[in-house]
Amino acid sequence: MLPKERTSPIRMVIPLILICLSPTGFGESINEEIATRTSALKDLVASIEGEPKEPPRIFRTREGYLRFIGTPPSTHFGVEAAKRGTAQDAANAFLERWRNLFVNESPFVGFKTVRIKTSDSRSYVRYQQTYAGLEVFAAEMIVQVNEFGGISN
């Protein structure tokens, strides 16, 4: 009886790495997704209303998703006037427009409103991320809406 030949893990991993690094492999599509998110982020930053005296605070993951974005003092991200109604309407419109900057485009990924808190002239709309209707542990987002119906920090 012949001994069983074992495949080295390196022999299995190297082809996968080469596929990912090839121009037609997974690496290229990931770079395209990051470039798309970067372009959308520029559009979001361009939507800042007011006179910013400093750049917005932006924290992203390696994949280009936003972990946090905050407007400079005395500014806010604009929301279409037709969608500004209540604080929740404005927050929903913002999230609907820019959701792909925060999470992937999967139709299974969603957000449900957990709570709305109003303090002074600001409202804080807290969302819980869901996947296929199930809550994602520790995946929440807070959208701050100012008195003008704009999104600020």
pLDDT at 104: 87
Write out the two tokens for 46: 């361009």
Which residues are registered as beta bridge partners of 58?
69
Q: Is the dihedral of CA 94, 100, 103, 108 positive or negative?
A: positive
pTM for the whole structure: 0.76
**d(Cα 117, Cα 33) in Å, to the nearest integer?**
34
At 24 the pLDDT is 47
Residue 147 CB partners (closer than 8 Å, separation 6+)? 121, 122
Domain ranges for the chain, please list them.
10-152
pLDDT at 65: 92
Pairing of strands 48-49, 76-77: antiparallel
Model pLDDT, residue 64: 87
User: pLDDT 10s per residue in the chain (153 long)?
Assistant: 555 566 556 555 555 555 555 554 445 577 888 888 999 999 999 999 999 899 999 999 988 899 999 999 999 998 887 677 899 999 999 999 999 999 988 899 999 999 999 998 899 999 999 999 999 999 999 999 998 889 987
Q: Which residues pair with 134 in a beta bridge?
A: 131
